Structure 1
Amino acid sequence: MKILIVPAAALAVAGPACAQQIALKPIAEARLRYEHAEQDGLPIDTSDAVTARIRAGVSASSGAISATVVGQGNLAIVGKYYDGLNGPTNRPLVADPQNIALYLAQAQYKSKALTLTGGRQKIALDDERFVGNVAFRDNAQTFDAVRADLTPVKGLKLDVAYAWSVRTIWGFEGRGVRQQAVSGDNVFANVSYVTPVGTLTGFAYLVDQDEAAVQGYRLSSQTYGLRLAGTQPLSKAVKLSYQLSHARQSDYHRNPNDYRADYWLADALLDIRGWKLNAGYEVLGADRGRALTSFQTPLGTNFKFQGWADKLLTTPANGVRDLYFGGGYGMAKWGALSAVTLQATWHRFDSDRLNQRYGTEWNLLASAKVHKTTLSVRYADYKAKALATNTRKVWLQADWAL
């Protein structure tokens, strides 16, 4: 009821004047994806999934007030896979269960200095490492929340959100450890300031996973940290982008564990006339080696980090250190294609304690846009040492948006 009451209340504030001048904008998007997964050590070591997702809705606006409602349906056309809830559990996971849902239902007030948003909404903070939308998965992740974004003076931004429910990627059939929604009193706070060397952000994320079925509350945490992200031109043709981040995480609310774990990130990207070279080192630290006492990011867009094979979505008890190198090339236009991207990244994964070599992974991507459709091919190849088993994945995807 909260997600319906908040938008209705916000629209009521607009008064009769808004009803006279309302602009309507249709929202429509579609996705078709084939995912193939091979994982050693399973009785059935392959999965094949062809899924289709459709979202449709409308955004109504009048002056500073707007309201958006979007519905979503996800269909398995070829279902030779375990989706996390249905299908044979002895074959590789493809985390795209069938679903029908209310994806967005939000009201918003927006002025030059202040944006207020209430209802079911997307929240993606910074690089989405700690709080994100998980947009790669068909069902994505949204929040029933209220959010305030304030810019009191130029260069200074305050972003605070309170979320009472996290709508997960598991859809309406979600159950057990993979719930449809996880309730709790979550608070996300960012304060950022633009400096000559980049944007400096201080953040506090209080994650309250208030469902006993989800790891017995052991994913509830409080995380405090700093992040610096910037870009500096080195010449007319060369620029350097960088990120530096540190955070400290500990148990929170009903979490029965007592732990402390650190997060570190150093990342640099060199752009030379469309060619890109990237290197980084990310650490999700461990405490004393007990399960779920390492640095966890249950609300992050974790597919973006530590390899697309999804071997490290939950941080191992001994933590993880990810050393990665990558390169690529991008073109704004190539014949009938636009936004052409080629990318390759190599990861080496080690533990944060006990000196374990987890494994290595290659990630490859080619994508381009044709009119309103984005086509992409992805490949992930994980070679196991001390963690999990060899895994290979291929994705063929088409995304269309109105």
Structure 2
Amino acid sequence: MNANLHPRLRQVSAAILLAALGSPAMAEEEVLPEYTFMDAIKTGKNLTSFRLRYEYVDQDGLQPATFANGSPNPTANQALDNANAMTMRSLVGWQTAPYHNWSFAAQLTNVSKLQDDFNDGTNPVRVNGASNESDKINYAKVVDPDYTDVNQLFVDWTGIKNTKVRLGRQIVNLDNVRFIGDIAFRQNTQVFDGLSILNKSIPDTEIFYAHFDRVRQIFTTHRSGDLDILNTRYRISPTEFLVGYAYLSDFDNLGFGNAWFGTGTANYAASQSNKTFGVRLDGTHPFTPNYRAHYTAEYAKQDNYRGGDSRIDAHYYKLGGGFGIDNFNMRVDQELLSSNNNTFAFQTPFGTNHLFQGWVDKFLVTPREGIKDTFVTATYRYGDFLFFADYHVIDSDNDFYTVGSGTNRNGSRYGTEWNAAVTWNIDKNWMTKFEYGKFSEGDQFGLGPNTTSNAAGTRGRFRDTEKLWLTAMYTF
């Protein structure tokens, strides 16, 4: 029996051995399906989202004068009507997965007005940083014009290790988006046309360089010029960073001439080209899994560049810190955008300025007297809910004229503002948000002396304003 069994075992063992030896040979001969461009499309990234928003604005103030056939609009100097804006933003797009180191992305945007009781600010002529939709001038402003365009259209190349080159229309957000951002809060985002390079070859370091020759602003206006960006970010720890940056802007006109330099044709035509160099230390230092400290120290200098107006000479700082315990965080900060003797103040024309000096957007352009904003912020996360609140005391860097003050600069308090929000992340696709902001006027800001009889100066005031937003967003 054993004699008969052993040969069979040898036969079985030989068969298993031949099968084992034969398997690699068969695998080598097997032809794997080629990864095609269609596969790259199928496995790409969805860039599609839909955002429905209701915005309400109650703003003290008077309707500005408009002129027809040489006569002022009879409704001028009447109180502004409250704005009620219901808008839908649709972003539809796709980015392919890399294929032979190349990736392609295209995204369309459409903003549609569902309730049109607001002034969308689409008049391209901007005086003192303001514009008005001519047939809605009686309403408070909500800068969400209806619009359809290519939002992003770019190609990525990753043929060099640790490097990504992107060419085309693109969204850019750097650091806390104070200087470079897409202004994502508004329904029409800010996008840049040109070339960007991101390199991560040096350990713990990201170097971002970009050259853009066109920017589309949230007013849907396209501006041409040259913007060079260099941003170097060093990771001290997983949550702490040291950043150095240079932003060189050669744009004769970004649409804010009067607001930057003062009233008058000469100021409107003044070149806005400027350069900004800065350094930022920012982070959160954990002491235990439950306790942490937050801190920020940042400084930047802004000067004229390539024929820019000689008055462009100002500096910026932000200092602050706070603490976190479990899901609660609180901090106190001060941000200064300085004034050059009341002739120019530090500007951030490519930043997401909605996030700074409060959400009511009184200071999207820095007044020539500068801004010193001291504020406290608190957040609390509970499950899928995030609660937010802050309070701002907003002063000038240099004293300003007040309405009726004659030739005396005796004002320094623009006002105060508080904001609150609740965000509910329902699931990975759905988000809803409630936001509220209230700005209360301090000293009555005037654009120049003797503003009691100066209608333009009276309109310079930063008047009491309340805003409310309800947002629902679905992201694929």
Give the structure-2-normalised TM-score: 0.75
Find out whether 1:256 has 2:313 as its counterpart: no
Unaligned runs of at least 5 residues, structure 1: 1-15, 172-179
Find out whether 1:325 has 2:376 as its counterpart: yes
Partner of 2:276: 223
Could you give the per-residue CA deviations for residues 12-61 of structure 1, whole angstroms, max 9, x where no partner exists?
Answer: xxxx9864752333432101000000110122241110001111122122
Partner of 2:235: 194
Partner of 2:347: 296
Partner of 1:165: 214
Q: What letter matches 2:91 in structure 1?
A: R
Find out whether 1:22 has 2:40 as its counterpart: yes
- For 1:62-101, what aligned pairs fall within 5 Å after superposition? 62-85=99-122, 86=133, 87-101=135-149
Q: What letter matches 2:352 in structure 1?
A: T
Q: What letter matches 1:379 in structure 2?
A: Y
- For 1:36-75, what aligned pairs fall within 5 Å after superposition? 36-42=56-62, 43-61=79-97, 62-75=99-112
- Quick one: distance in 1 between partners of 2:297 and 2:47? 37
- Quick one: distance in 1 between partners of 2:309 and 2:172? 28
Return the offset for 1:155. 1.3
SS in 1 for 2:398: coil
Return the offset for 1:103. 0.2
Find out whether 1:369 has 2:405 as its counterpart: no
Could you give the per-residue CA deviations for residues 283-321 of structure 1, whole angstroms, max 9, x where no partner exists?
Answer: 00000102xx10000100000111001011100111000
Find out whether 1:204 has 2:261 as its counterpart: no
Could you give the per-residue CA deviations for residues 95-126 of structure 1, whole angstroms, max 9, x where no partner exists?
Answer: 00000000000111236511111100001111
Question: Which one of the candidate residues 307, 312, 317 is aligned to 2:363?
Answer: 312
Return the offset for 1:167. 1.0
**Farther off after superposition, 129-138 or 194-203:** 194-203
Q: What letter matches 2:412 in structure 1?
A: Q
Contact 1:219/1:298 (<8 A) preserved: no
Could you give the per-residue CA deviations for residues 66-120 of structure 1, whole angstroms, max 9, x where no partner exists?
Answer: 1100001100110000000234223211000000000000111236511111100
Q: Percent identity?
A: 29
Contact 2:223/2:254 (<8 A) preserved: no
Q: What letter matches 2:202 in structure 1?
A: V
- Quick one: distance in 1 between partners of 2:103 and 2:325? 41
Say if 1:217 and 1:52 are closer, same or farther in 2 by CA, change over 3 A: farther
Find out whether 1:392 has 2:392 as its counterpart: no
Larger radius of gyration: 2
Q: What letter matches 1:160 in structure 2?
A: Y
- Quick one: distance in 1 between partners of 2:439 and 2:38? 58
Partner of 1:124: 173
Find out whether 1:286 has 2:335 as its counterpart: no
Partner of 2:457: none
Contact 1:276/1:327 (<8 A) preserved: yes
- Quick one: distance in 2 between partners of 1:181 and 1:160? 22
Say if 1:315 and 1:17 are closer, same or farther in 2 by CA, change over 3 A: same
Partner of 2:195: 146
Return the offset for 1:256. 2.7
More helix by share: 2
Say if 1:38 and 1:329 are closer, same or farther in 2 by CA, change over 3 A: same
Could you give the per-residue CA deviations for residues 258-300 of structure 1, whole angstroms, max 9, x where no partner exists?
Answer: 331110001324221101112100000000102xx10000100
Contact 2:337/2:372 (<8 A) preserved: yes
**Farther off after superposition, 253-262 or 359-368:** 253-262
SS in 1 for 2:137: coil
- Quick one: distance in 1 between partners of 2:467 and 2:317? 28
- Quick one: distance in 1 between partners of 2:156 and 2:60? 48
Contact 1:133/1:301 (<8 A) preserved: yes
- Quick one: distance in 1 between partners of 2:148 and 2:246? 33
Partner of 2:295: 242
Q: What letter matches 1:195 in structure 2?
A: I
Say if 1:198 and 1:78 are closer, same or farther in 2 by CA, change over 3 A: same
Say if 1:269 and 1:219 are closer, same or farther in 2 by CA, change over 3 A: farther
Contact 1:209/1:217 (<8 A) preserved: no
Structural RMSD (CA): 1.9
Question: Which one of the candidate residues 209, 223, 229 is aligned to 1:182?
Answer: 223
Partner of 1:6: none
Contact 1:243/1:266 (<8 A) preserved: yes
- Quick one: distance in 2 between partners of 1:286 and 1:125? 25
Find out whether 1:35 has 2:55 as its counterpart: yes
- Quick one: distance in 1 between partners of 2:419 and 2:100? 45
Unaligned runs of at least 5 residues, structure 2: 1-33, 63-78, 123-132, 258-268, 400-410, 446-461
**Farther off after superposition, 309-318 or 59-68:** 59-68
Contact 2:274/2:312 (<8 A) preserved: no
Could you give the per-residue CA deviations for residues 201-231 of structure 1, whole angstroms, max 9, x where no partner exists?
Answer: 1110012223486523543210001001122
**Farther off after superposition, 251-260 or 372-381:** 251-260
Q: What letter matches 1:312 in structure 2?
A: F
- Quick one: distance in 1 between partners of 2:375 and 2:203? 36
Find out whether 1:345 has 2:390 as its counterpart: yes
